[in-house]
Structure 1
Amino acid sequence: MDHLRIENIELFKVPPRWLFVKVTTKSGIVGWGEPVVEGRADTVAACVQELQPYLIGRTANQIEDIWQVLYRGGFYRGGPILMSALSGIDQALWDIKGKALNVPVYELLGGSVRDRMKMYCWIGGDNPDVILEQAQQRVSQGYQAFKMNATGPMEWVSSIKEVKSVASNIKLLREEFGNTIDIGLDFHGRVHKPMVKRLIDELAPYEPLFIEEPVLSENSQVLKHIYSYSSIPIATGERMFSRWDFKEILHEGVVDIIQPDLSHAGGISEVRRIAAMAEAYDVAIAPHCPLGPISLASALHLDFASPNAIIQESSLGIHYNEGFDILDYVDNPEVFNVKDGYLELLTKPGLGIEINEKKLNEAKKIGHNWKNPIWRNKDGSFTEW
């Protein structure tokens, strides 16, 4: 496997808020990955650079051994920065192996269990003025499922006025579309324990597909107080970074859908293990993906090979993508076309997307310094975004 020896690693920090990694082998086969934490791109880039000595000269074919070395070899392990750096590298290695063997990545994971994947995308749940317009646009693009923020800024214990306002957007969508579309609601970790049940009471009549991150992942012990309260499926996991982070909530039986991110939770290798672990607990997986085309392609290969994958997030048109979108750096954007709510099986070798490096180099000159907003309550205290 000398021809797959890793010879070069290059990073591309490009707008709107992404970081790509290019791994090149001796034979010229290139793999692409997306190692980034939103708002911490430079920190993750530094971590990738620190990991290079463990990679240069290794054969890219040894994906699992490289994963173990990068995860365990530094003594300290886990967390968003290391795991996101590892995730992008892992994606690139799977891309290389698929291209070397001339098969899509899901074939290396045991083959596809479905012919197409149900998709959803974001609409702007913070602003009722544009929600119907955005929903109609997404329907015209082929989507039949959406996700939106359930709330804006929330106090630890919010006023009844704020509580009564949370259902206004999903109510508009139900009045317009009836039950012909699915609507996921993202609490985004903005809500604290005292408010979750009251908000569920307001939202339940409009039958959301799921409630995402009803509390912050560090407060996951609260889920046991929420889980039995409503029949609405509970989803969480975008801020969990390994199978060890998911282990307790799966064992406790307090989640219906897990949402690991292929660019944060150890890449294809680790999320494949997380998905299998969730299947053993009869829990579904719906990978988190508000990022770019490489992260999305990686998630789709995981979905195609995982029987408990139910729906896939796409960042097409998401509010973060100002000026640049997921199709802008891809030479075969048709692979992300959605028809009747589904995306067809990817068929090209590796991750199945062709990255336009010329556009990347031009965009790299622009770069980005994306940071999430800092929100404050009316009294000036910090509140979750």
Structure 2
Amino acid sequence: MKITNIETIPIFPKLAARYESEKVRLHGIDHRIVYKVETDKGVTGFGDLRIRPGKAPDPSTVEHLIGQNPFHYLNNTFNGGLGAALYDVMGKYLEVPAYRLMGAKVRDVASVAAWTRPASPEAFSKEIIRASNDGYRIFKMHSCTYHDVIEQTKAAEEVAPEGFKIHWDFNSNRSVASMLPLVAELERNHPIVGYVEDPIIKSDIEGWRTIRDQSKIPIVMHVPQLGGLQEMILGLADVFMIGGSIGDALMRGFAYSKANVQTIMQHGAGILGKAMALHMCAVLPSATGHAITLDDQYGEDYVNGNIPVDDGFSPVPEGPGLGFEVDEEALVRLAANEPNVIPRYVFRLYLPGGGMYYTPSFPNVPAITGREEGTIRGLRSEQWEEDGSSEFEKAYERVQKLGAYPSQDGG
């Protein structure tokens, strides 16, 4: 079997209806790239990946694969979308699920997590309700400088069902001095927090050890700077997040499994991306954390069917390849969509002492206050979208000219 053509197809699926008024917060999530791999045997494979706006890959980057046998690229280190398309075509050709080309199957289902962009306590509360109603029992979200993580956690606790867990991603941007008290407070007062990802900067090896030694909440490392195995040997984390290229995820996943170290799978894409994540989880013995994908962010996709979530887990697809047939008419429609138009907006940042700042985008609190992310309790922010008022026009023009400015300066 030879590859005869590879198309790279940008698509712009509509976001879930709940995000209709949150286009700023979800900016860019509607940008994905689909890889369509055609062969001389009449078998076609598909894979997709979320991309940043303006970062669609050059079609020439796949030209070297034309005329090649896709089976030469088992355990490939291409991006996850292209890699998945190759596994899809190989599995379809052999009429076996993709996981059969990765290793011995060790599970039929995998734990899965919901996800969203950083949200206010009020919005996070709604997301938790939505996720639990949809069958999820774990929710991953990044913290941010402009919302109070304790208030966000409290809001989640008020609505989450028993046993529900939050996976906090702390962005790998802090010091031990700022992170230790926060982890201690979460551990002491907020048992809903089940995972702490990237608590401090990656280069602080001793700091990672300190955080791990003093925390009973599992510490998760993503994108390890030394490749992952050195960090495991050094004892820097309890859990390692894998994903990206299929080859790297499988290589590290099997190594972590031999060492009895848990892994979490992350693969940012739609339904086919979730399918790919589940296929990898099916063969990795210690992939007993959860899989994080983006399929719950969209109101439409281009495959026939979906992947259910039942009490926190999803079944591994059993059809050939990734396990789904593509609706090519739907694919054409999603490719013809226009990306979301982002309205003009201003942010207001409210500090606990009563100060208020206008900012041109998401507030950079460390730049405004000189404090690390997560060290100011009681701050909050809100987005002010264009509303036709003269007050908005005045604030918008001024913040575009000056950048962040305090309200007492004529806001």
Q: What range is the shorter-chain TM-score in?
A: 0.7 to 0.9
Judged with a 3 Å threshold, the aligned counterparts in structure 2 of structure 1 residues 133 and 88 are, in CA distance, closer, same or farther, namely: closer
- Corresponding position of 1:28: 42
Q: Distance in 2 between matches of 1:190 and 1:316?
A: 28
Amino acid at match of 1:29: V
2:129–2:159 Cα contact (<8 Å) kept:
no
Distance change in 2, residues 1:316/1:37 (3 Å): closer
Further displaced range: 204-213 or 106-115: 106-115
Letter in 2 for 1:255: A
Equivalent in the alignment of 1:108: 101
- Structure 1 residues 177-186 or 22-31, which shifts more? 177-186
Q: Does 1:93 align with 2:98?
A: no
Secondary structure at the aligned position of 1:259 is classed as: strand
Contact 1:13 1:368 in 2 (8 A): no
Contact 2:6 2:62 in 1 (8 A): no
- Structure 1 unaligned spans of 5+: 72-82, 155-161, 319-323
Give the letter for the 1:63 counterpart: Y
User: Which amino acid counterpart does residue 340 of structure 1 have in structure 2?
Assistant: D
**1:374 CA displacement:** 6.2
| 1:80 paired residue number | none
Give 1:130 deviation, angstroms.
Answer: 2.5
Deviation at 1:229, TM superposition (A): 1.6
Q: Is 2:297 the counterpart of 1:297?
A: no
User: Does structure 1 conserve the Cα–Cα contact (< 8 Å) formed by 2:144 and 2:373?
Assistant: no
**1:100 Cα deviation (Å)?**
0.8
Identity %: 23
Query: How far is 1:21 from its partner?
Result: 0.8
- Provide the C-alpha distance between the structure 2 equivalents of 1:245 and 1:120, rounded to a whole number of angstroms: 25
Task: Tell whether the 8 Å contact from 2:31 to 2:51 is kept in structure 1 after alignment.
Answer: no
Aligned to 1:329: 302
Matched position secondary structure for 1:199 = helix
CA shift for structure 1 position 355: 2.3
Scaled by the length of structure 2, the TM-score of the pair is: 0.73
User: Following superposition of structure 1 onto structure 2, how do residues 191-206 of structure 1 map, counting pairs within 5 Å?
Assistant: 191-204=174-187, 205-206=189-190
Q: Deviations over 1:237-274 (max 9, x none)?
A: 1x459xx621221121211111122xx3x22x321111
* Counterpart contact for 2:170–2:197, Cα < 8 Å: yes
Structural mapping, 1:74-223, within 5 Å: 84=79, 87-122=80-115, 126-149=119-142, 151-153=143-145, 165-177=148-160, 179-204=162-187, 205-207=189-191, 208-217=193-202, 222-223=207-208
The DSSP-based 3-state class of the residue aligned with 1:196 is helix
Q: By how many angstroms is 1:104 displaced?
A: 0.5
Shift in Å at residue 108 of structure 1? 2.3
Question: Which residue identity is paired with 2:233?
Answer: H
What displacement does 1:220 show? 5.5
Which residue identity lines up with residue 59 of structure 1 in the other structure? Answer: N
Does the Cα contact within 8 Å between 1:12 and 1:361 map onto a contact in 2?
no
Query: Following the alignment from structure 2 to structure 1, what is the Cα–Cα distance between the partners of residues 202 and 340?
Result: 26
Q: In 2, distance between residues paired with 1:40 and 1:259?
A: 27
The residue that corresponds to 2:395 in the other structure is: none
Residues 246-255 or 122-131, more deviating: 122-131
**Counterpart pick for 1:376 among 340, 364, 382:** 364
Deviation at 1:360, TM superposition (A): 2.0
Q: 1:359 aligns with which of 310, 320, 330?
A: 330
Determine whether 1:306 maps to 2:298: no
Aligned to 1:209, the other structure's residue is in SS state strand
Deviation at 1:281? 2.6
Give the direction of change, closer, same or farther, for the CA distance of 1:339–1:278 in structure 2 (3 Å limit). same
Distance in 1 between residues matched to 2:256 and 2:241, nearest whole Å: 11
Alignment RMSD: 3.0
1:342 is the counterpart of 2:313: yes
In structure 2, the CA distance between the partners of 1:25 and 1:381, relative to structure 1 (3 Å rule), is: farther
1:378, CA displacement in angstroms?
Answer: 6.5
Q: Give ranges in structure 2 of 5+ residues lacking alignment.
A: 13-29, 343-360, 375-411
- Alignment counterpart, residue 260 of structure 1, candidates 242, 258, 267: 242
Aligned mates of 1:272, 1:287 — CA distance in 2: 10
Q: Secondary structure at the match of 2:166?
A: strand
Q: Is 1:123–1:147's contact at 8 Å kept on the other side of the alignment? A: yes
CA distance in 2, matches of 1:224, 1:378: 25
Q: Secondary structure at the match of 1:236?
A: strand
Matched residue count? 335
How far 1:169 moved relative to its partner? 2.3
How far apart, in 1, do the equivalents of 2:155 and 2:276 lie? 34
Q: Distance in 2 between matches of 1:167 and 1:26?
A: 56
Higher strand share: 2
Q: CA deviation at 1:212?
A: 1.2
The one of the two structures with greater contact order (alpha-carbon pairs below 8 A, sep at least 6) is 1
**CA 1:184–1:140 in 2, change beyond 3 Å: closer, same or farther?**
same
Contact kept, 8 Å, 1:13 with 1:367, in 2: the verdict is no
Which digits, 9 at most, give the CA deviation of each residue in 1:281-315, with x for residues without a partner? Answer: 32111111343222221111001111101211232
